[in-house]
Amino acid sequence: MKPTKLSQPQRRKFVQHLVRAMGLTTATALVYGSNLNVAMGFQIRTGDLDAAGVLFDKPTMLTLKHIVNTILPRTDTPSGADLDCHGFVDHQLFRCHSEKEQQVCLDIITQIDQYSMANFKQSFSQIDAQKQAELLQAIEAMQGFSLPQKNQFKFLKSLIIFGYFTSEEGASKILRYDPVPGGFSVIPLKEDDKSWGSFAYY
């Protein structure tokens, strides 16, 4: 898949949609500097999507892939793993983020796997989808997890969602996206229309 390229007007509009979907603070943190350009330049890996990344080894990438699929499962649109959002996270962390931020993501992925082993006697990638969702929801509810761990997970999740929105599929089909912004017009929103970047996670 070719990298997505945006003109300046498209870029501004796209960032506005990210802000609506993810919140101002999160979206701003993700798109500062060259982050958005690097994200738009990411290409889905060909071949083994379970392969080791630049930062993460193969077992870590497998756990991350299942975290991605739990947050963004396949419906009438591709799943997060279908769009290699786990590869995106590894790539984006390596290219745009500090060693501290890289470690934050590695730590929470490791802690998710350790929690799964302690409570289900299996790694996160081996438990069923319902247990996976319950585990991630437990982080949000701080049931068995601390506030720092919840914040670590929030950062990881924001990168996953960012990867999904900046993929060609996510930018052009999942979000309502105008590839050639024109003049102002009022368009009624029908009941079954897609919203601008509204997601129900899990």
Could you tell me the residue ranges of all domains in the chain? 8-45+55-174
**Residues in CB range of 77: below 8 A, 6 or more apart:** 169, 173, 174
Residue 109: the pLDDT is 97
Q: What pTM was computed for the model?
A: 0.74
Average pLDDT over residues 166-174: 66
**Residues in CB range of 36: below 8 A, 6 or more apart:** 11, 15, 30, 166
16 pLDDT above the threshold of 90? no
Residue 49: the pLDDT is 80
Which carries the bigger pLDDT value, residue 185 or residue 38? Answer: 38
With bands split at pLDDT 50, 70 and 90, how would you rate the model's confidence at 23?
low
Which carries the bigger pLDDT value, residue 23 or residue 4? Answer: 23
Residue 182: the pLDDT is 38
84 pLDDT above the threshold of 50? yes
- Structural contact between residues 134 and 37, judged by C-beta atoms closer than 8 angstroms: no
Tell me the C-alpha distance between 118 and 146, whole Å: 16
Residue 193: the pLDDT is 54
131 pLDDT above the threshold of 70? yes
